[in-house]
Amino acid sequence: MTTSLLTQLSHIVGQAFGAVGIDPSFGTTFPSQRRDLGQFQCNGALAAAKQAGRNPRDIGAEVMAELEKSGLFSEITLAGPGFINMRLTDDFLLGHISDLAEDPHFGCRSFHTPQKVILDYGGPNVAKAMHVGHLRATIIGESLRRLRVFLGDEVISDVHFGDWGLPMGLLIKEIERRNPDLPYFDEKFAGPYPDTSPVTVEELQEIYPAASARSKEDPAFLEAARLATFDLQKGRPGYRALWQHMRDISIAETRTDFDLLGAQFTEWKGEADTNDHIPVMLARLKAEGYSEMSEGAIVVNVAEEGDKKEMPPLILEKSDGAVMYGTTDLATIEIRSELHDPDSILYVVDARQSLHFEQVFRAARKCHSLKPACHLEHIGFGTVNGRDGKPLKTRDGGVVRLRSLIEDAVDEARKVVRDTGMAERFEPAELDDIATKVGIAAIKFADLSNQRMSNYIFDLERFTKFEGRTGPYQMYAAVRIKSMLRKAAEQKLVDGRLMATHDAERNLMLALAALPEAVAGASEKNAPNILCDHVYSLSQEFNAFYHECPVLGEANADIRASRLRLCAITLRQMEQILFVLGIDVPERM
Ligand code: ARG
């Protein structure tokens, strides 16, 4: 396992501090913002001087003298009040990059202790088409899953289907109202279960809003739906059979969306999977005194001393016996703990559900539903907005379906791809594949490159541009390297030992060496935007290098071989990060 360059440098500089009798922790070193002054910088002399009541420049000079002895730096200077600026010798830099290239994880695993993680994301619901709200849950969740796998974690990804509760009763009653003769509504229904669903997924998507609207106007309908929900949960065979159909066809539908977005789930569980455990849980909570009755409902009080905002109790069972979203989530924690004994359970869900998760997490701790060491975290995110700055809606104010967002992005990408003259160079099938990849990369990069908690404006024209901080730009950078390496192979050019002959090469190497810190930051903060920043700066350094340094056209065979190797390493790292971001790179463009 390779140690990151910054860790190594901080250690070396720390030792120099130690050698002059100062605490080595002052040796923390970071990349310099001013490449003209140095590649790396350490400001520890200032803090050390303050502590010791000495002159920072004196300390800086002593540390510098020690660093000189190491032979690892080609230049060390003292700037301003005592900043130490450093430039690495080429040998040191090349040695490090060669080590990184040997490491399948580019030195990223040295920061990380492998964990068992359950990631809960996606979160679609029966009968409702996935919509814009599920876009971020899927894109961010999948990227965090890939990041964790890259770091060596054991990841269980669970879609946590919304398949229980009152919406199910509403659907059953509305279907019954429309088709009373179907066998499912007979109290004595005992099968046989028809193979095919009596409703299509398109019908369901129309039935659900209709049922929901009816329940608001018709109290008797609502009451009947409540009762049906209750009967379903108690196991009434006809309702279960109908529910199973609705669940199956809804899952099949969401699978198409998830496949388009490249999301991979190891588990397709849902709220309903908690049904058998809920009575067991409720009995325990009651017996151990964690739950109480409040206005006929069973609740867990989760308010804590010092709460600044009001913290309502978590309702587990309403007076009519119905279980709630919080009940299934608490029961899911118990089931997951029992089954997997995870180190953490992470929920990638809209930030607007933060109160819900706060209540559930507090209840889980209070009721000892999991091991105290198990970490629970709600990884929230902001909304996707329209140009008016409000959450994205269709023109007539409806919910924007996920599928149509993706289709729009691919359409926009098709235009852009055609404008770049690709239409003449590729067969229609390949062109279509490229446009799909570009469209999806555009949405994903735009989403992930924002700070997770901020809202952003959905602007396909901007997202699909081949310039600037966009998915297509990143993709193009990788494709360009691929094409170059393919040409090199055709010309039977081979790569060779790394050399540094130009600053553009050194800068590219420094960008490659910065990955471990980016990955560590992204995983600690669950912040894929840090990886987007990294891959963007890597592409920029690559483009600068490509501009300054001929590769295939380089006359000196050793330099050419070294540059080919540098290109290959860059491509491997770029593709790795783009993979974590969920971006597929075509062979050519
Ligand atoms: N189905 C929910 C929704 O559409 C999201 C589920 C999130 N996960 C969870 N364990 N609550 O809002």
In a domain, 326, yes or no: no
Determine contact, residues 352/290, Cβ cutoff 8 Å: no
The last residue of a domain, from among 239, 260, 281: 260
Which value does ipTM take for this structure? Answer: 0.99
* 84 and 184 belong to one structural domain: no
Quick check: is 397 in a domain?
Answer: no
d(CA 280, CA 283): 5
Residue 587 lies in a domain: no
103 inside domain = no
Q: Which atom of ligand 1 is nearest to the CA of 349?
A: 7
Ligand 1 within 6 A of CB of 327: no
How far away, in angstroms, is 325 Cα from ligand 1 center? 9
- Boundaries of domain holding 25: 5-88
- Centre of ligand 1 from the C-alpha of residue 257, in Å: 17
CA gap 178, 586 in Å, rounded: 48
Residue 543 C-alpha to ligand 1 middle, in angstroms?
42
Q: Decide whether any atom of ligand 1 lies within 6 Å of the 271 Cβ.
A: no
Sheet holding 314-317, edge to edge: 292-294, 297-300, 314-317
Q: Is residue 545 part of a domain?
A: yes
Distance 326 CA to ligand 1 centre (A): 10
- Are residues 82 and 209 located together in one domain of the fold? no
The pLDDT of residue 422 is 82
Atom 6 in ligand 1: residue holding the nearest Cα: 123
254 lines ligand 1 (CB under 6 A): no
Q: What is the DSSP string of 217-228?
A: H-HHHHHHHHHH
Q: What is the pLDDT of residue 220?
A: 97
Q: 70 and 218: one domain?
A: no
Residues in the chain: 589
- Tell whether ligand 1 has an atom less than 6 A from the beta carbon of residue 119: no
Distance (Å, whole) CA 475 – CA 466 = 9
Q: Which atom of ligand 1 is nearest to the CA of 360?
A: 11
Give domain status of residue 504, yes or no: yes
Structural domains in the chain (count): 3
Q: Check residue 175 and give its pLDDT.
A: 97
* Residue 192: cis peptide before it, omega within 30 degrees of 0: yes
Burial of residue 199 (number of CB atoms within 10 Å: 0-12, 13-18, 19+): buried
Domain-located, residue 109: no
Which of 53, 88, 123 is at the close of a domain? 88
The per-residue pLDDT for 554 is 96
* Digitized pLDDT (tens) for each residue of the chain, 589 residues in all: 789 999 999 999 999 999 999 999 999 999 998 889 999 999 999 999 999 899 999 999 999 999 999 999 999 999 999 999 999 999 999 999 999 999 999 999 988 999 999 999 999 999 988 888 899 999 999 999 999 999 999 999 999 999 999 999 999 999 999 999 999 999 999 877 778 999 999 999 999 999 999 999 999 999 999 999 999 999 999 999 999 999 999 999 999 999 999 999 999 999 999 999 999 999 999 999 999 999 999 999 999 999 999 999 999 998 888 889 999 999 999 999 999 999 999 999 999 999 999 999 999 999 999 999 999 999 999 999 998 888 888 888 888 889 999 999 999 999 998 888 888 888 999 999 999 999 999 999 999 999 999 999 999 999 999 999 999 999 999 999 999 999 999 999 999 999 999 999 999 999 999 999 999 999 999 999 999 999 999 999 999 999 999 999 999 999 999 999 999 999 999 999 999 999 999 999 8
pLDDT of amino acid 271: 97
Q: What is the pTM of this model?
A: 0.95
Q: Maximum distance among all alpha carbons in the chain?
A: 92
Our answer on whether the CB atom of 162 is closer than 6 Å to any ligand 1 atom is: yes
Closest residue by Cα to residue 382 from 326, 295, 446: 446
User: Which DSSP symbol is given to 316?
Assistant: E
Cα of 349 vs centre of ligand 1, distance in Å, is: 7
Residues 460 and 550 in one domain: yes
Of 199, 227, 260, the position where a domain reaches its end is 260
User: What local confidence, expressed as pLDDT, does residue 129 receive?
Assistant: 83
127 CB neighbour count, 10 Å cutoff: 27
Same domain? 424 vs 549: yes
Q: Does 196 share its domain with 57?
A: no
For the Cβ of 125 lying below 6 angstroms from any atom of ligand 1, the answer is yes
In angstroms, what is the span from residue 70 Cα to ligand 1's centroid?
56
Instruction: Tell me the C-alpha distance between 558 and 570, whole Å.
Output: 18
Nearest CA to ligand 1 atom 5: 123
Q: Is residue 337 part of a domain?
A: no
